[in-house]
Amino acid sequence: MVANPQLLQINSGFTGDQSLLLSNNANTGGTSFGMNSTCAGTGGVMRVDRGYVLDWIYDTFGDHL
C-alpha cells in the first residue's frame, strides 16, 4: 500500500509543532486522525522529527526497538 498525501499545514496554530495536517482522500492517500466522521477530507499525523517526541518514543518503547 502506498499513500501520497499532500501537506496542507505545518507549524500552524492548529497543528502546533508536533503534527502535520495532510490531505486525506482516495486520490492522494490516507492518514491518521481524520477530521470528520468518514475520515475523509483532511487528516493528520504525529511528527517524529522532534527531540521531545523521540525522547518519549525511546523512553516508552526503547526495549522493543
| pLDDT one-digit tens code per residue, 3-54 | 677 888 889 988 888 888 877 665 555 555 556 666 555 667 788 888 998 9
Q: Does residue 1 form part of some domain?
A: no
Distance separating alpha carbons of residues 46 and 52, to the nearest angstrom: 12
Q: Does residue 28 form part of some domain?
A: yes
- Grid cell 501537506 in the structure block, residue: 7
Which residue, among 3, 2, 55, has the nearest Cα to 43 in the 3D structure?
A: 3
Q: Rg for the chain (alpha carbons), in Å?
A: 13
Q: Does residue 32 form part of some domain?
A: yes
Domain count, the chain: 1
Distance separating alpha carbons of residues 44 and 25, to the nearest angstrom: 12
Q: Does residue 2 form part of some domain?
A: no
Range of the domain at 13: 7-64
- Residue 9: its pLDDT value, please? 87
- Residue 21: its pLDDT value, please? 83
26 grid coordinates: 482516495
Whole-model pTM above 0.85? no
